[in-house]
Structures are given as structure tokens and as C-alpha cells.
Amino acid sequence: MTLSLIIFLPLLGALLPPLFIRLGRTACAWSAGLLAGTALAILLYHSPAVFAGETLVFTQPWLPALGLNFALRLDGLGLLFALLILGIGLLIILYARYYLSEHDPMGIVGGYELSVVLASAERIQAHALYPVTLVLILLGAFTKSAQFPFHFWLPHAMAAPTPVSAYLHSATMVKAGVFLLARLFPALSGTELWFFLVTGTGTATVLLGAYHALFKHDLKGLLAYSTVSHLGLITLLFGIGTPLAAVAGVFHIINHATFKASLFMAAGIIDHETGTRDMRRLGGLWRYMPHTATLAMVAAASMAGVPLFNGFLSKEMFFAETLHAGWMGEWSWLLPLLATLAALLSVAYSVRFIHDVFFGTGPKDITRTPHEPPRYMKVPVEVLVALCLLVGMLPAWTVAPLLTAAATSTVGAELPYYSLAIWHGFTLPLLMSLIALVGGVILYLLRFRLFALHDRIFPICDAKAWFECGLARTVDASHWLTAWLENGSLQRYAMLLVASMLVVIGTSLWGLPLTGPVPMDAVDGVTLSGALVLALSVVGLVVSVAFVRFSAPDLALTQLSVEMVTILLLMLALYFLPQHSPAESSAARRWRDGLLAGGAGLSVAALAWGVLTRPLETISGYFLEQSVPGGGGSNVVNVILVDFRGFDTLGEITVLAIAAFGIYALLRGLRLPSPSADGEGRPWAEDRHPLILSAVSRPLLPLALVVSLYILLRGHNLPGGGFIAGLVTAVALILQYVASGVVWTRERLPFDYIKLTASGVLIATLTGVASWWFAHPFLTSTFEYIHLPLLGKFELASAMVFDVGVYLTVVGSTLLILANLGKLTLVSQPHEETE
């Protein structure tokens, strides 16, 4: 259980600084440090057991389906990484206390720590993932460890403050991928695919990283690319796949972490003291900060693989392993050669790091006089550098147990014999080291010519720029593609929708004997054509007549009354739309649209024809049967609307209410230019409210109201119903608006249309809820025949109340819509626009 504390304490530490920020920087540093320290202590407490070869496991099932468990598994490798993360993290906290200026948020370090801890220290063991391929893992691992071709993001993150990059680059974040490789090493390694993928990637990364490191003028850039290179080296080692290569890999992880962290901190100190990281401006700093210079030199020597420092040991092992990798047959010489080349480059940039910064001429254009940093800022560097030396000189006494433990758990088996001695005699690896050292120094001496050559070969594009170039191309291509696909034209999108419809109907019906077995009726009918609104009215009328012809009086009534309101609506809109629109479609476009429209028409007609000539077995018999006994109404269509499928109708009037409500919101505050003349330039007539019209529409209102009441009441038994009645009422009222104007009518209609609409829906809904009282589901209807003396038999049906709700909704929303549209002219500026 304490294992989980190792993770959660630093996590807590990450959250604390933002909370303690008011208490000052020291408190922040202390709080974060204390927690990390505690975690480290717990880790150390467990370490003896690990060194003894035990594996401490704390497992909490996470997602067993994927074999994902939240398993904390403290074995050698885990211990190594945890030590690196916590130990270096602790030192960084101390360092950051002095490095970050007052204005930098302390929380940001914590923020990274959080992600770091999450990303690397969570040990997600993916036991069951083995059928899942290598590629994903490698992809993940390579992305994380900044391997080629993903190595660009790492130097790119250089904007981060130095402690953060120190931590990120050397110790932890980027090694998450390496950790993944190491963790999965026993399971995945040893195949040809593994070798070529991992070794190939590693080699490419080693060389590219080293090459770029040499040509970076920015200190941190150099270190960042060097990190890329070293990670490549570790990857390469895991790729070779032998147990000893794995040992070398693990060993190099340790060594790299120590020297690279100290170098990053040294770079930070230099940046802090001189205000620049550009090596062309730096130089001669030995005079100002000898102590720091010494520390940096030791670390750099280790990075270069100079004997007596820890980097040398793992590099020797690396050389030895490249010589033994036998996968490549007669090309086996290639790997050692490339390894030597990489080492040579690494020597060159290490020398450059030291010489260009601490020796030679300079510093140039420095505003302040550099001096040694505060004491405690150097302590972390000293600790790490001491480690470099100790490990380098006394490997067997220092790092061996940890290495053995970590490597054993990496390889997953007993390790073969290996020796951590400094001196192995005159061997091929030693020769390679020597070549690298001498060659590196020579290369450094030739640096100015090389820089010129580099600038000529890659005038603009260094690797990062290449990546940027490639990315920019991809982005440009995406821009182009997206803009080409999404040209913002409704016509295009609508065309695609229609084409989709055409395709699905077409492919489905193609080749089908479309005509079914049912014989046809004889023909009697009419056809249509004309200008738009007019055509629409004609169509509306024709459709209504068709509804009548096919025994649907309710539909004819509805269609007709909707028709009236729609025409009013369209006429209202036409006023504000240009009377003349420029012809925009090209002939080709009109042909295309014509074909598309024709095809769509044909396909829908085919669909209709196909269905109409087939027999139908429908559930409707039930409605005809149950309408009177169950629904209490003889107009089956209406009973379906208010009873069998009353829920649809509730939704439908809700739609109407929302539309009205939305239109009200949409038109509020809208100002439209009102044309002062019609399309031909004629000024409007002066007679706003023609006498005959207003004189007839006023007495018509009571008559229409009575008719609408009649239609409402009889709807349950004969054609009619709330919707039609509502429209009749609304049209009669709108007629008053047309005949006498908004102000006149509004004075006489003291209703809040919104509330009227809402009350309609509410009545309908509450009618439905009322059935709960009788332990029936929502919208269960009930009806009763009441016999009154003298007056006769009356039916009272709850569905009628529902229909009243429909009626009110329709009246309210229609008035809300049309009155608001009509009102537009009142608020719009007249005569603003002339045709």
C-alpha cells in the first residue's frame, strides 16, 4: 500500500504549490520538496528488498478487459526509475527555488511534475496486450522518447524554463518511452522485426541527434539534441536485443540521467548569470565562475565518454554490443561504424559545449558581469557530478547493485556474467573510443568550416525546420483540402445531401421489378405549373383536392388552413427580400441541378410506385376497431392524433411553440431596410387600410370564431379538431392585422402570445399527467357520455381537453409568428434603401 504513496505524494506535491503560492517561494519549494522527499524515503525503505531480488507488487484491477491493471510493481527497473525521478526531482526543486524569477509561477514546475508522474511513474502493465502488436507500443514509445521521426517535439519544448527542461529531458519524461521499451523488452525483443525497427530507429536517432547537437548554437538546443541522440543510443541497445545490450541500456539510462541533468542545470546557471545561451556570444567564463565550469567539464566529459567518468563505461559496453549484433550478416560492420561516428559527434559537441562557453574569447555583448551562482543552486549539480565520478571510478561499489536489480528485471531472467571494470585491456571497443575521442576533437577544430558547409547544405532547414516545413506543407494541404471540400456553400452541401439520397435509393431499387402485384386504379386528375408563390398556392390547392379525392377531409382542411398562413408568411417575407436577384447560376450549374432534381424526383416517384403497387398489411385495423369503443370518437384520424398517438401531437405542438418562441427571439431587435418602392420603382399606394377590406374583415371575425369553435368541438367525431380550429381563429385574427394594422389590432387583443402558447402546451401536458391520478400511463384518455334532461346525450372526453390545448398552442404560436413578422416594419427604418 505504501507503494501507492510513492506516486500520490509527489502528485500532491504538484498540487500544493498553487495553494501555497501566497506563502512565498520557500514555502512552496519546501512543501513540494518535503513530499518528494517523503516519497523518496519510502522508496529507499523498500529498496533493500528489491536489491534482494524481490518484486513488490500492489495490484488494483483497472480494466481487466484489456488486461489493464493499476499495478505498482517495484522491481529493479521500477526502483531505478523511481529513484531517478524522485531523486533528480528533489534536486530540481531545490535548484528551481533559486532559478525561477519572482514572476514565474512556481506552480508550473508542479504542473509538469504532475504530468511527469502520471506519464512515467504510473506503471501500467499491459499484460494482455501481447497479441496487440509491437507497432503501437513502439509508436508510443518512440513518440514519448523522442525517437526519429518524432524527435522534433523535444527540442521544440525548449521554451520551458531550464529546471523544467532539465527534469524533462534528462531524467524522466522522455524516458517514459524508454521505460516502456525496457519494461516490454523480455516479451517483445528477440525477433527480426524488433531488431530492424528498434535498432534502425535508434541508429537514425543517435546520428541525427548528435549531428544536430553539434550545429546548435543554443546551449539548451545542443543539450536537447544530445538528449535525443542518447535516447537513440539507449533505444539502439534495446534493439540489439541481447541481455548484455539491455544491461548496457539500463546502465546508460542511469549515466545519462546524472550527467545530462547536471549539464542542463549548468546551462541554466550560465543563462541565469549571463542572460544568453548563444555559444557564439559566450566564452571565457572560466574566469568568472571556475567552480561551475569545473562541474560542467566533468559532466561534459562524462557525456563525451572520457574514461574515468560514468559515460565512458556504458559507452564501452555499447561499442562491445554493436560488435556482437549478428542480425545483419555481411553488413555487420555497419553498426559499429555508425556507433563510432555517433560517439565521435558526441565528443565534438561535448568539446564545443566546454570550449565555446568557458574558454576562448568572450563573452560578447553581455550586459552584466557573470559570477558564481548562490551556494544552494550549485548543490544539486555537485551531487550529480559527484555521482558521475563515483560511478565512473568505482562502478562495482556504487551502481552495481542497482544496475543488477534493474537489469535483471528488464531482461526478466538471470543476467549473464558481465564486468563493470574500467579497464578491460586493449579491445576493439577501446579502439573505437579512442577514434571517437581523437576524431571528435579534430572535428571540433574544423567546426567553422563545418558550420559553413552545414549552412550551405541546409540553408534554412535544419531538422526542426524540416519538420516545420513538412508540417507546414501538411497544414497547407489540409487547408486546401478542407477549403475545397467545405467551400461554405449551401448549394454544395445540399447537392451532396440530394446526391446521397439519390445514390441510396438508386442502388437499392436498381434492377428490382418495381411494379408489385396490386392492380392500379383508373386515372382522373390534374397537373400544375406557374410562378413561385402562386405555384405554391396552386400546388397547395391541388394537394388539398387530392386529399379530398383520397378520402382525407382532415388533411384537406389542415392543408388549406396552413396554406393561408403560409402565404401570409411568405408575403410578409417577400417585402424585405430583394425583388430582383441577380441570376447567379451558370448554365452548366442549372443543368447539373436539373439532372439532380430530375433524378431525385424519379427516384422518389419510383419508390412511391414500388410501394403503391404492393399490398399493405397494416396495424390500422386496430384503430378503426378501437376508435369508438376505446377512444370515444368516430373520426379515427382525430382519435389517433389526440389519443392513440397523442404523444406525437404533444411533440408536434411543442415544436410549434418552440418555433414561435424561437422566431420571437430571432426577430427581436432586427432592423431591416424597408424598400420605399416596389420592384418596378413604383412608389407604394397610399391607402394603408382599404375601406372594403377592413369593413368586411371586422364583422367576419365573430363568424369565423364561431366556425372555429364548431370545428374544434366536432373534431373528435367528424373532420376538424384543435389544429384546424386554431388556424381558423388565427387567420381571422391575422386578417385584422392585415386590414387594420398592428397597433389597432394589438390594442384589441390583450393577450401575451407567449403565455397563450405555453398555456396550450401546458393544458395538453397536464391532460396527460392527469391520468396518473387514475394509475394509468401518461396521456391515457377517458370519456363519459352524460345525459342531461331535455338537452340529450353529451360526450365529455379528456382528449377534447387535450385538443383545446392544441387549439390554444396553434392560436398563440401563429399569432406570435405572424404578428412579430408584421411588426418588423414598425421598427425598421423606412426609405433607407432605394432600388
151-180: which residues touch other proteins (CB under 8 A)?
Answer: 153, 159
785 contact partners, CB below 8 Å, separation of at least 6: 793, 794, 795, 796
Closest to Na ion by CB, 695 or 786 = 695
Closest to other proteins by CB, 314 or 627 = 627
Q: In angstroms, what is the minimal distance from the CB of 126 to other proteins?
A: 9
With b for 16 or more beta-carbon neighbours within 10 A and e for fewer, the 681-699 pattern comes to eeeeeeeeeeeeebeebee
Q: In angstroms, what is the minimal distance from the CB of 82 to other proteins?
A: 17
Determine the 3-state secondary structure of 72 from DSSP.
strand
Cα–Cα distance list, 218 to 221, 279, 357, 484, 529 (Å): 5, 6, 11, 41, 77
Q: In angstroms, what is the minimal distance from the CB of 741 to Na ion?
A: 9
Which of other proteins, Na ion, none sits in contact with 490, Cβ below 5 to 8 A by type? other proteins
Determine the 3-state secondary structure of 668 from DSSP.
coil
Run of H or E including 713: helix 691-714
The verdict on 723 binding other proteins (CB under 8 A) reads yes
441-460: which residues touch other proteins (CB under 8 A)?
Answer: none
Closest to Na ion by CB, 533 or 571 = 571
Q: In angstroms, what is the minimal distance from the CB of 162 to other proteins?
A: 15
Closest to Na ion by CB, 486 or 678 = 678
Size of interface with other proteins, in residues (CB under 8 A): 282
Closest to other proteins by CB, 431 or 786 = 786
Paired sense of beta strands 68-74 and 792-797, if any? unpaired
Burial category of 309 from C-beta neighbours within 10 Å (exposed 0-12, middle 13-18, buried 19 and up): buried
Run of H or E including 523: none
The verdict on 675 binding Na ion (CB under 5 A) reads no
The verdict on 801 binding other proteins (CB under 8 A) reads no
Per-residue x/- track, 765-804, Na ion (CB under 5 A): ----------------------------------------
Which of other proteins, Na ion, none sits in contact with 136, Cβ below 5 to 8 A by type? other proteins
- In this chain, which stretch among 30-38, 332-340, 487-495, 825-833 interacts with Na ion, using CB under 5 A? 825-833
The verdict on 155 binding Na ion (CB under 5 A) reads no
d(CA 554, CA 606): 27
The verdict on 822 binding other proteins (CB under 8 A) reads yes
Per-residue x/- track, 731-750, other proteins (CB under 8 A): x--xxxxx--xx--x-xx--
The verdict on 825 binding Na ion (CB under 5 A) reads yes
d(CA 82, CA 44): 10
Contact criterion met (CB below 8 Å) for 179 and 120 = yes
Q: What is the CA radius of gyration of the chain?
A: 42
Cα–Cα distance list, 355 to 212, 288, 304, 350, 483 (Å): 18, 15, 13, 9, 52
Closest to other proteins by CB, 340 or 558 = 558
- Tell me the backbone φ, ψ of residue 517, rounded to 5 degrees: -80, -15
620-659: which residues touch other proteins (CB under 8 A)?
Answer: 620-624, 626-628, 630, 634-637, 640-641, 643-649, 651-659
List the one residue out of 565, 564, 545, 567 whose CA is nearest residue 555. Answer: 545
List the one residue out of 562, 516, 523, 518 whose CA is nearest residue 539. Answer: 562
d(CA 534, CA 262): 85
Query: How far apart, in Å, do the first and last CA atoms of the chain sit?
Result: 82
Amino acid at the residue 82:
A
- In this chain, which stretch among 35-43, 83-91, 361-369, 485-493 interacts with other proteins, using CB under 8 A? 485-493
Q: Which three cell numbers stand for residue 830?
A: 423606412
Per-residue x/- track, 77-116, other proteins (CB under 8 A): ----------------------------x-xx--x--xx-
Per-residue x/- track, 803-822, Na ion (CB under 5 A): -------------------x
520-549: which residues touch other proteins (CB under 8 A)?
Answer: 520-541, 543-549
Length of the chain: 835
d(CA 464, CA 443): 23
Q: In angstroms, what is the minimal distance from the CB of 272 to other proteins?
A: 20
Determine the 3-state secondary structure of 793 from DSSP.
strand
Which of Na ion, other proteins, none sits in contact with 664, Cβ below 5 to 8 A by type? other proteins
- In this chain, which stretch among 205-213, 361-369, 444-452, 669-677 interacts with other proteins, using CB under 8 A? 669-677
320 contact partners, CB below 8 Å, separation of at least 6: 244, 248, 427, 428, 429
Which of Na ion, other proteins, none sits in contact with 379, Cβ below 5 to 8 A by type? none
Q: In angstroms, what is the minimal distance from the CB of 204 to other proteins?
A: 18
Applying CB under 8 A, which of residues 337, 396, 434, 611 lies at the interface with other proteins? 611
The verdict on 61 binding other proteins (CB under 8 A) reads yes
**Residues of this chain that bind Na ion (CB under 5 A):** 822, 825
